[in-house]
Structures are given as C-alpha cells and as structure tokens.
Amino acid sequence: MLENLKLRKEYGGFAFLAEDAHGVPWLKTHHHRELEINLVVRGSVTYVVGQSRYTFPQGELFWLFPGQPHRVVHRSADAQYHVAVFKPSLIRSCCHSEENQLLLDERPPRNAVLHCTLSPSAYSLVCQTISSVMEGGPDAVTLNREAGFGLSPDFRYEHRNPDFLNAGLAHLLLFCWGRQRASADLDRAVRLHPSVLKALEIIRGEIGEVDLENLAKQCGVSPAYLSRTFKKQVGVPLNGYRNTVRLERFWAIRQGPKQVTLAEAVYAAGFGSYAQFHKVYRATYNRQPRASTGDSGDSQKTAGR
C-alpha cells in the first residue's frame, strides 16, 4: 500500500526516535514516495521486505527505498531506532554527482535492503544530527503515537524552522550515503520459505481466525513444520505475528472515518474476545487500552459481555 506521509511542501522530510516503550503503532505492509533510513539505537528491529526477513541490531543503519514495501514484524522490548524520510525533491536538490544518483531510484540493485554498521564516531554524529533536526518539531510522544507522519486524520507534521530541518536532512542523507557506499557489510537477508510467504499473505487478509491446521493445509505443509519454520525465519511465533496484524486492523478501524465503539473495533479486527485483545494490547503497549484509545467505560463494558 502506498502511504501518504502528508508532508506540506515546505518540509523536505522529517525525523523522529521510535521507541517501543512509547507504544509506536504496528504498521501494515506499506511503502511511500519518500526514501527512508533507520538507525537502531538500542535493542533490535525485524522487517519483512519482499520475500526476505531482515533483523538489525544496535548500530545498524538501513535503507528502505520507495519501491520496497516493508513492515516491522518484531521489535525487542527495549527497541529504539531513529527514522528519517526524505522527499524526492530534497534528494534532487542535494544529489547531483553520479555516485549519489542511486538515491533517486525506486529500488537499489537486486532489490536488496542496503545496510551497514556505523563506526562509533559515525553513529554518534548521525544520532546528534537527527536529534538536532527534531528540535522544533512535535514532541517524541506525539511522533511515536502518530508513527512519525500521522495516523490520525487531523495530524499534520509541523516544524518551526523548515529551512534548518531541510538543511539538516540534506546533510544527514549525504553523510549516511557516504558511510553506506564505503561499507562492505554482508547481506542480512533471510530468504523466506514459500509456505511462510503464503502464511504471511493469508494472515494479512484473514478476518477472524483460521486455525493452524487449516492454515498449514493452505500453505501445503504440516502444522508443526509451518509453526517451526515461521518462528525460525520471521523471528516471532506465528500467533504473535497474527496478533500484530489484528492490532494494526484495530487501529485502522478506530482511526477511520466511521465512528465505532471499542468493542466493535476489537471484534472487527479479528480478536475472539475482549480479554484476548486486552492481553495482547497490554503486552504490546504496556498500558490499558482505555488509556490510549480514548474510549468510555461503557464501551469496555459492552466489549466484555
């Protein structure tokens, strides 16, 4: 899905620090016209891009090009990672030499996820640069709740000094690209088995729950093999992944144009009960659903019947 980052024309991009502790929402598989970089500050982050899974540890810088649909499938409990995006117009304004032209492409060579491990000095400089361009923008809690660009219909990214933001982003882009071009890091891709790819596709489209036996049958393997291989290759248990997909549906329903109660959103997202939803929500965001969904007590009582 092509995501609209809703950036006004004066902004060449944005940057923020994603923290699992703030409950940054799980996002569906998506891509956008903007080039994206991530730098892992703490813990680890796991993405599925195309037919491969990538897990990036602390100090790893990685690139997501406009033509690379991606989704986070796992974050460690202590995960922290910088996210920065760059509009094509900003890239064109600062990338004129041949060595930088790849940044304007839809995909990198072989459609791989480019990545490199930064040296301590480079890591420190990138973190400082991102922190500096964040000054003047929305606070960290707001940016994490809105996943940087705004999941809520009325959210718009604002920065009090667009010129400073754009100059900082241009410097950040060119510095990081220089480190990437000088890197000889090996590919971290784990190629996913066809049965795992099929399971990912079915889970993304299911409403309600397909039991493991039927899911495995559709994928052409045994339940034990699917469960074992999915956990090994994706890095999270199959049921855990299902719950993240249900959470993303829940948020899409709650933040959509149609007004629904908490109970209606819970069941429409595919959760079998409010108790199941509550358990998954608490485990993911470390807080009660009512603390962040803005729902009344009556809705929760309805959901618990």
Instruction: Look at residue 296 in the predicted model and tell me its pLDDT.
Output: 43
User: Which tokens sit at 163?
Assistant: 């010129």
Task: Classify domain 245-305 by CATH number.
Answer: 1.10.10
In the block, which residue shows the tokens 């939803």?
277
Nearest-angstrom CA–CA distance, 252 and 28: 9
Classified as helix, coil or strand, 81 is: strand
Q: Name, in order, each residue with C-beta under 8 angstroms of 196's C-beta and a sequence gap of 6 or more.
A: 219, 226, 229, 230, 233, 234
**DSSP-assigned beta bridge partners for residue 62:** 38, 115
Nearest-angstrom CA–CA distance, 247 and 164: 36
Nearest-angstrom CA–CA distance, 297 and 9: 41
- Please give the model's pTM, rounded to 2 decimal places: 0.78
Sequential DSSP letters for 83-109: EEEE-HHHHHHH--SGGGGGGGSSS-G
- The answer to whether 66 and 106 are in contact (CB under 8 A) is yes
Nearest-angstrom CA–CA distance, 130 and 126: 6
Give the pLDDT of the chain (305 residues) as one tens digit per residue: 678 888 999 999 999 999 866 666 666 788 999 999 999 999 999 999 988 999 999 999 999 999 999 988 888 888 999 999 999 999 999 999 999 999 999 999 888 899 999 999 999 999 999 999 999 999 888 888 888 787 777 888 999 999 999 999 999 999 999 999 998 766 778 889 999 999 988 887 765 667 889 999 999 999 999 999 999 988 889 988 888 888 878 887 887 778 888 889 998 888 888 899 999 888 877 777 865 555 544 344 333 33
**DSSP-assigned beta bridge partners for residue 65:** none
Q: Where are the domains of the chain?
A: 13-190, 192-235, 245-305
Q: Name, in order, each residue with C-beta under 8 angstroms of 211's C-beta and a sequence gap of 6 or more.
A: none
User: Which tokens sit at 188?
Assistant: 């971290």
Instruction: Look at residue 76 in the predicted model and tell me its pLDDT.
Output: 86
Instruction: Look at residue 303 in the predicted model and tell me its pLDDT.
Output: 38
- The answer to whether 11 and 157 are in contact (CB under 8 A) is yes
In the block, which residue shows the tokens 């890591």?
123
CATH architecture of 13-190: Sandwich (2.60)
What angle in degrees, to the nearest 10, is found between the helix axes of 212-219 and 194-205? 130
Give the chain's length. 305
